[in-house]
Structure 1
Amino acid sequence: MADWAPVIIGLVLFVVFSPGLLFQLPGKGRVVEFLNFQTSGISIFVHSLLFFGFMVIFLIAINVHIGSG
């Protein structure tokens, strides 16, 4: 059986934490901006830290598994 949890969780978190797609932290004019489709180097760094943190929480701390078969 294959464990699909890393693939599915990674895909969902990638979409959610893409800078500028749903939100951008920090924004260009404010702390948080929504749906602006722009990004900066610092926001890429912050979003990558958030992505890594949530991946660790879901896959290691909570130990989520999605099996096939």
Structure 2
Amino acid sequence: MQDWGLVLISFMLFILLSPGLVIQIPGKSWTIECGKFHTSVVSILIHTIIFFALDAFFLVAVGVRIEFGSSS
């Protein structure tokens, strides 16, 4: 059996936390902007920190496990 929790959680967080795709923290004119597709160095750093914090929380602290395969 393979544990796909690491792959799926990391993939979903990467897509959701890509700066400028869904939200951008901090934005150029507002603190939080939605769907602007603009990034800055500060925004990239903040999104990276949030990504690694959430990824570590879900994978280490919570211990999410998603297993596919036959159980024999």
Alignment TM-score, normalising by the size of structure 2: 0.94
Partner of 1:53: 53
Q: Distance in 1 between matches of 2:42 and 2:56?
A: 21
Local SS of the residue matching 1:57 = helix
Q: Which runs of 5+ in 2 are unaligned?
A: none
Bigger Cα Rg: 2
Supply the RMSD in Å over aligned alpha carbons.
Answer: 0.5
Task: Tell me which stretches of 4 or more aligned residues in structure 1 moved more than 2 Å.
Answer: none
Q: Which runs of 5+ in 1 are unaligned?
A: none
In proportion to residue count, which structure has more strand? Answer: 2
Q: How many residues align?
A: 69
Q: Distance in 2 between matches of 1:34 and 1:55?
A: 22
